Amino acid sequence: MTVSRDNSKMVYEGIKAAGIRYLSAMPETWLVYLLQLAENDPEMTLVEVAKEEEAIGIAAGAYFAGTPNALLMQNHGFLASINGIVSLALLYRIPLLMLIAHRGHIGEPYPWHTQGGILTEPVLRGLGLPFDYVRDPHKAPKQIREAQTFALSSLSPVALLLTRELMED
């Protein structure tokens, strides 16, 4: 598996085009180039977390400070952050844009990713969280901008699932 540097760059450009200048993230293989771009960009603040649930609190604080932000995580990280999403973001109507590396779906070669991939979509639906798939790098900037707009207008977490078609060469 090779992560697509070019597609990662298009996703990152979409993040910036949406006005986002603050990211919280847990390092993950598919996110490696996004994290490098953020780390090397003087216009971007990147906060790397030890646990994904911490990212929910950091994003909430950024929102209350008036700073447009997004979270980068893998689907197992999303599942690990459910308590923060439910007890903070949903309870207090905090918009969160979650860009989730959607590992573990059809074509996944690594067994440790499969259960998270199988459960991500049903959990998003169970929580009533809007989500969409990002498959085409050329459509990614528009999808990111629209998801950020929807998170802000609905005062709710919104997820974009970064698929294998997008993230791998």
Structural domain of residue 72, as residue ranges? Answer: 5-167
pLDDT by residue for the chain (169 residues), tens only, comes to: 699 999 999 999 999 999 999 999 998 889 999 999 999 999 999 999 999 899 999 999 999 999 999 999 999 999 999 999 999 999 999 999 999 999 988 888 888 888 888 999 999 999 999 999 999 999 999 999 999 999 999 999 999 999 999 999 8
Burial bucket for residue 166 (CB in 10 Å: 0-12, 13-18, 19+)? buried
CATH code where residue 66 lies: 3.40.50.970
pTM, whole model, 2 decimals?
Answer: 0.95
The total number of structural domains that make up the chain:
1
